[in-house]
Amino acid sequence: DVSLVDLDAPPAPPGVRGTVEAPLPLFVNADFADGLKSWFGPNERIQATTITVDVGGAKTGVRLVCNPAADALLWGDRLAQPTAQAVAKGDAVYWQAWMRSPDRAMVTFCFEQAAAPNTKDIEQTVGLTPEWREYRFLVRAHANFAAGEARAQWFLGQTKGTVEIAGVRFADYGPARGHKFDETLDLWAGRAHSDAWRAAAAERIERIRKGDLTIKVVDRKSTR
C-alpha cells in the first residue's frame, strides 16, 4: 500500500485520537437516552419526540414531523450536533444511522465546518423508505477541528413528512489507512429497482476499461 503524507499539514489537535480498534465517539447522547439533550435544530416547523424502537441494537430513537416553509432552504431546518472531541485533518469519520419514513422523505447528511465558510466534507441526500434501513457514510476531515468547530447534521429544510432516526454512531477512526468502510450507495433514492444491469456492467468494465500496466522507476544513474 502507498499512502501520501502532507509534510506542511498543521499538527493534529491535542487530545485523544480514535483508531480503527478504538473509535472515538464524537456525539453526546447519540442514543437519545436523554431525549434531545446536546442536539439542536428542532423548532416550530419540526416537532421532535423520542420513541421506543428495536432496530440495530437501539431501544430509543427520535421522531421528527417536518412541515417546512414553502420557501425553505435545504439547510434552513435541521437536526444537528457539534463534535464533542477534536478531529484531525485526514481522519476517517464514520457516520451510521438507522432511518425510516412512511412518507419516503428525502434527507441530507452533512458534515461541515461550524463557522464560515462552512466548508462541507459530505453533503449526501438519500430517499428514506417506510422500512428501517441503516445508512453508512465515510467522511474525511479537510482540516483540524477542535471540539465544537465542526458539526454533523441532517438537513430537513425541504423535507415534508415524518422521519425516524435511531442507532446513531458518529466516530473518529483516526487515519485508518487501508481500512475498508462499508458505505451506502443510494443511486435510486430509496425507490425499488432491479440490479440486473450490475453483472453485465462489471463484465464490460473488466473487458474494455482495464488492462495491464508496467511501471519502471529509474534515476539519473539508470540506463535503459
So what's the pLDDT on residue 31?
A: 96
**Cell 419526540 belongs to residue:** 49
pTM more than 0.95: no
Q: What is the pLDDT of residue 187?
A: 47
Cα separation, 87 vs 144, whole angstroms:
6
- Round to whole Å and give the CA distance between 117 and 33: 33
Give the end-to-end CA distance of the chain in Å, rounded to a whole number: 27
Q: Cα separations (Å) of 62 from 35, 51, 150?
A: 8, 6, 22
Q: How far, CA to CA in Å, does 143 sit from each of 3, 87, 89, 152?
A: 18, 8, 4, 15
Residue 145: CA count within 13 A, CB half-sphere: 29
List the pLDDT tens digit at each of the 224 positions of the chain. 555 555 555 676 766 789 999 999 999 999 999 999 999 998 899 999 999 999 999 999 999 999 999 888 899 899 999 999 999 999 999 999 999 999 999 999 999 999 999 999 999 999 999 999 999 999 999 999 999 999 999 999 989 999 999 999 999 999 998 899 988 865 455 555 556 666 777 788 888 888 888 888 888 777 65
pLDDT value of residue 196: 65
- The CA distance from 37 to 156, in Å, is 19
